[in-house]
Amino acid sequence: VRKEFPETWLWQTIAPKSFSGEKTLQKKVPDTITSWIITGFSVNPIYGLGLTQRPRKLNVFLPFFVSTNLPYSVKRGEVVAIPIVVFNYMDEDLSSVKVELENKEQEFEFADVENEIIDTSKVELSREKRLAVPANSGKTVSFMVKPKKLGHITIKVVATSDVAGDAVERQLLVEPEGLPQYVNKAVFVDLRATPEVTKQFEVEIPRNAVPDSTRIEVAVIGDVLGSTIQNLDSLIRMPYGCGEQNMLNFVPNIVVLDYLKATNKLTANIETKAKRFMEAGYQRELSYKHKDGSFSAFGESDKSGSTWLTAFVARSFKQAANHITVDESVIDKSLEWLSDHQAPNGSFPEVGVVSHKDMQGGSGSGVALTAYTLIAFLENYNLRDKYKNTINKAIDYVYRNTESLDDTYALALAAYALQLADHSSKAVILAKLDAKATTDSDTKWWHKPIPEADAKNPWYGRPNSVNVEMSAYGMLTFLAAGLETDALPIMKWLIGQRNDKGGFQSTQDTVVGLQALAKLAAKISSSNNDVTLAINYAQDMEMRLIVDAENSMILQKSELPSRTRNIEVKATGSGFAVLQLSYKYNMNVTGEWPRFVLDPQVTANTNPDHLHLSVCTSFVPSGGQNVSNMAVMEVSFPSGFTADSDTLPSLENTPYIKKVETKDGDTTVVLYFDSLDQRELCPTVSAFRTHKVAKQKPAPVVIYDYYDNSRIARQFYDGPKASLCDICEQDDCSNACSIKSQKQRSPAELNEASTSRTMIGNAGHKFNVSFLALLLSSVVLRMV
């Protein structure tokens, strides 16, 4: 059975052992029926870089094989026609080829047109069809199936004839209706001063959540950054397609390497993985650099560089230089550009578009951005003398403006910058920041004031990106002042704001949050953890997880029954652990408390095979906030549809759209906006039907503020509807489909069809051949 279909193959470093420079590789060819293009390069200390003069082609071929092309995913309750192509490249015709779709695990049921109205199901272990396949050609066939379980189901197709046979196995992703919502509740279990700790958790699932979409998981690890290290390539669930968001592939790896080296926990595998991510992120970030040395969110497509992003990159590249090769001139040129744009009063005004409005400060004074940029200069120690005048002017500006500063976000950045500069006012500013903190039991944090109009907004009760940022800067300030004990309550609060992957909500909060956690975690790290957790999740139901010196870096996970609602965890022993309860559920209703107007409408020129969707949106002002930060819209298509790639460049050329990309196998289009205000914008996205799916569920459209996750809106829309009669093959379509088709056609159409039927005669097979030719042309490059 062919089941291995990698997208790439043999990305491998080879070290020849002989003087001839040759080495023989023996590898199993993947199961894909395709042509592999093989290229390579070599590096020699004497002759330098060598490249292959001409790529080599390796053809993988079978004289008889079967292929299937599945959609990226379908929703539960939908019916999908599984397309199958049987290829016969032998010299003889095959008069009877049996094509069988197996269903031994009962992960789906076969759909019949007769059962569309009366939804009955029967147990079938397989279903088969027979067809004739002429020599040197292919024939298509399909089976209609309705998945019964969520997750990946196995689609196994077997084709046999008297002289040859082949089998292929693929996985089809089945998702619940609606959009997934993720909740993570994490706590720092500290047994260093007490022998026992008890924690209570509640799983809060809305009554209108999609049935059977709930998944609950409990996890524990004996390291503060343990879950982060496990998920370096997927710390957040947002897309990251701009210059600032790309840094998420870069900075956390620096943090992890610094932390593991400081605690003597670094392994070769983690170091290799982290450096690989860093090198890729570094090279990708250079594509956002302007010729003058500055950086911006979308590179040269922006009119100018960004003060904020240029400072972020200069700071991060300096940190990375301890682990990978970084061109020092790139950092120097960035700082030079920043210095050239410093105002006479010492501030750093934002040049270009401000993607992160909080960086301007609530009063627009520029203290936050100036402090942020100052930190970049201060952390480049080797260049402090060169930019001494620039640094001193910035320090004076920050100091002069902090006495009357009321904005907590700007104050947190100013306090940290003045600590790094060892300014005489650092203790006074820290005390002022501390006075603004909120405390509860053993935690401490800072938060933005909630506008009166948003007092009941439920999104403010969830982890908030801006609150995480300012609290992380507060923690870094305490640590820079040597107040580790005072920083511990902030660390406990930050741990509780993380997602299940060890990141936070977006880029900036994840970067600075992890930096703060790593600095304190390195100081309290222990190799003597011995923690036993007794987890009670139902009456008389208990599980035990143990964290000790041997497994402290291993993330232990256990899934709980989906009906679990209350959990009690009793921890005993010594040392500490991080315990987290993660759960998800789906919602298929309009999002609550929307901060954007969102109106998706299927346009009149839509047909069953081509979808055109107009999505109108604008920002809803509140509490004096009239403009959003960078906004991201994600438009998902109904099952069976994929984005029309030909229309994406015209979207990207629209003035208010900065970037367009796709994800999830081109089934979702992601649009980036610099910002949104009250003016309505209505981009139109298009998609083709690439797979036959009936009974499609509504598809979601979401728009959100990238840097403030309390600003979000969610809507659903229906695409072109399809019934089983629309996706069935001739043999599978019953008389009911013929009657339905006739009822939907006008008398004139019926008369025309009768006339054309007389003229065409027995030419129906010609249409089938044309359709097959079209299908074959789509799989010429890659057939499985």
- pLDDT per residue as tens digits for the range 66-112: 999 999 999 999 999 999 999 999 999 999 999 999 999 999 999 98
Give all strands (DSSP E) within 693-745, no chain letters.
693-694, 699-705, 708-717
Give residue 42's pLDDT band: very low, low, confident or very high (50, 70, 90). Answer: confident
Mean pLDDT, residues 181-189: 96
Q: What are the tokens at 568? A: 């009690």
Q: Is the pLDDT of residue 332 over 80?
A: yes
Cα angle 500-503-508, degrees, rounded to a multiple of 5: 150
d(CA 479, CA 485) in angstroms, rounded, equals: 9
**121 with 144: CB under 8 angstroms?**
no
Helix axes 251-262 and 307-320, enclosed angle (nearest 10): 30
SS (H, E, C) 321-374: CCCCCCCHHHHHHHHHHHHHCCCCCCCCCCCCCCCCHHHHCCCCCCHHHHHHHH
| Residue 358 near residue 707 (C-beta atoms within 8 A) | yes
The per-residue pLDDT for 359 is 65
Spatial distance between the Cα atoms of 369 and 351, rounded to a whole number of angstroms: 11
Contact 477, 444 (CB under 8 A): no
Q: How confident is the model at residue 782 (pLDDT cuts 50, 70, 90)?
A: very low
Closest by alpha carbon to 375, among 402, 348, 337, 404? 348
3-state helix, strand, coil in the chain (%, to 5): 30, 30, 40
Distance CA 80, CA 142 (A): 10
Q: How far apart are CA 652 and CA 612, in angstroms?
A: 16
| pLDDT for residue 742 | 61
Tokens linked to 177: 């209706």
**Residue ranges of the chain assigned to CATH 2.60.40.690:** 590-717
3-state SS string for 488-524: HHHHHHHHHHCCCCCCCCCHHHHHHHHHHHHHHHHHH
352: pLDDT strictly greater than 80: no
609-629 pLDDT, tens digit per residue, is 999 999 999 999 987 889 999
Q: What is the mean pLDDT of residues 450-467?
A: 83
Residue 519 has pLDDT above 70, yes or no: yes
Q: Which CATH number fits domain 590-717: 3.30.2320.20, 2.60.40.690, 3.90.1170.50, 2.120.10.10?
A: 2.60.40.690
**What is the CATH class of 64-175?**
mainly beta
Place of tokens 């010196």: 549
Q: What is the band of 121 on the pLDDT scale with cuts at 50, 70, 90?
A: low
Q: Which residues make up the CATH 2.60.40.10 domain(s) of the chain? A: 64-175
644-671 residue pLDDT tens: 999 999 999 998 999 999 999 999 999 9
* 119 has a pLDDT exceeding 80: no
Q: What is the pTM of this model?
A: 0.84
Tens-place pLDDT, residues 230-283: 999 888 877 777 888 889 889 999 999 999 999 999 999 999 999 999 999 999
Interval 23-29 mean pLDDT: 83
Res. 766 pLDDT band, cuts 50 70 90 = very low
Beta-strand relationship, 684-689 and 126-133: unpaired
* The two three-digit tokens of residue 629, written as one number: 């930060």
| Average pLDDT over the chain, rounded to an integer | 89
Neighbour tally for 578: CB within 10 Å: 23
